[in-house]
Amino acid sequence: MTPDHEALIRLSDLSVMAGAIDRRSLAVALDWATENRETLEHEWSRLNER
């Protein structure tokens, strides 16, 4: 999410599920997500325990 864009990204494959975001912002977000994927998956699991 940026001040001008918002998108829902699937963690499993980092694909855009919904929303709209420009290419540059998406590239920055996906680079960050790729570098922090383990943390993202850990936090998702921790916050969505059943």
Q: What is the pLDDT of residue 18?
A: 96
Write down the pTM of the prediction: 0.77
Closest listed residue to residue 6, CA positions, set 20, 24, 22, 16: 20
pLDDT tens digits, residue range 4-25? 788 999 999 999 999 989 999 9
Helix spans in 1-50 (H): 23-35, 37-47
The domain spans of the chain are 6-47
